[in-house]
Amino acid sequence: MLILVGQGNPGDKYAGNRHNFGFMAIDAIAERNGFGPWRSKFQSQVSEGNILVDGRPVKALLMKPQTFYNETGRAVSEAARFYKVDADQIVVFHDEIDLAPGRFRMKQGGGHSGNNGLRSIINHMGPDVRRARMGVGHPGDKSRVMSYVLADFAKADQDWANALLDACARAVSFVAAGDDERFQTEVLRLAPAPKSDPRKTNASDS
């Protein structure tokens, strides 16, 4: 079983936030790949289905934890225990302020870079979870980060945000095949974005 997790906060008031980019990615993957209906399990909204890899179905669980962003690890670890899944079979889609808007990077191992949702997952599962880092840019000042990620995407952001979501959904077979490098390459091919933030902020492409 492959577990794909989106980071976000439950409830309508958070639905359009930058912090809910992970939820949006999971929704896009579910829709494009014909996953089953959403239901409540593992302190999450979950959907089961298959991702085709060279015509072969790979069973996957999509998760949108309802624990709130900073406690994502509680839900993820519950599902992992149930399915006896190791950390490297978990892919976490999340907003990333240290990447320019629309940029995308896969990462495995290392620290959480101040992302409290990742901190929670690492605390519960260890550092080997795979991270799909979806760039949203940086507000330019550390003191503004929280209000920035808890604000909705601006209208000017919709084109690149939707392009990145669609690219993740279209290329997800590479994640299911375990080829994160190819997934990253394909997402960037389908949804190209500047390496530097056109708003001239402090975002970096690291």
Distance from the first to the final alpha carbon of the chain: 30
Which two tokens mark 67?
A: 């624990």
Dihedrals φ, ψ of 15, to 5°? -55, -35
Greatest Cα pair distance in the chain: 48
Nearest to 100 by CA among 192, 5, 182: 192
> Does the annotation mark 112 as catalytic?
no
**Residue spans of alpha helices (H) in the chain:** 21-32, 72-83, 116-125, 145-149, 158-170, 172-176, 180-190
Token couple for 136: 């949203």
Contact 147, 38 (CB under 8 A): no
Q: Which residues are catalytic?
A: 19
